[in-house]
Amino acid sequence: KAGVTQTPRYLIKTRGQQVTLSCSPISGHRSVSWYQQTPGQGLQFLFEYFSETQRNKGNFPGRFSGRQFSNSRSEMNVSTLELGDSALYLCASSLVSTGQETQYFGPGTRLLVL
């Protein structure tokens, strides 16, 4: 089975722009979660989608949004980019949305905001 894929792998943007990141989960997985990883804050949860519905949301401003499509693929969008948004954005998928399910991570999208 193919793993979780994320596109693009690297991205450079300037302050004020917006960006859309894409995640394709493992086939059959219906839950997709997004995390932001920075050296200072570590791994922080952004949001989780299950069957096209947002199930959980982390403590991030409204500039961060996401959605999930009927084929379980997910996108996250960051509007009005700030320098502090530079990070590795990780997507993870699991079969269903429960705490005991293992989440499988993609390679991440590294975003640099100049």
Partner 1 sequence: GNSVTQMEGPVTLSEEAFLTINCTYTATGYPSLFWYVQYPGEGLQLLLKATKADDKGSNKGFEATYRKETTSFHLEKGSVQVSDSAVYFCALSSGNTPLVFGKGTRLSVIA
Residues that bind partner 1 (CB under 8 A): 4, 6, 33, 35, 42-43, 45, 48, 55-56, 58, 90, 92, 97-100, 102-108
> What tokens appear for 111 in the block?
């975003």
Least separation in angstroms between residue 26's CB and partner 1 is: 12
> What tokens appear for 80 in the block?
């009005």
Type of residue at 13: K
- Between 17 and 30, whose beta carbon lies closer to partner 1? 30
- Between 48 and 85, whose beta carbon lies closer to partner 1? 48
Buried b (16+ CB within 10 A) or exposed e, 68-97: beeebbbbbebeebeeebebebbbbbbeeb
Contact 40, 83 (CB under 8 A): no
Least separation in angstroms between residue 41's CB and partner 1 is: 9
- Between 62 and 99, whose beta carbon lies closer to partner 1? 99
Least separation in angstroms between residue 16's CB and partner 1 is: 28
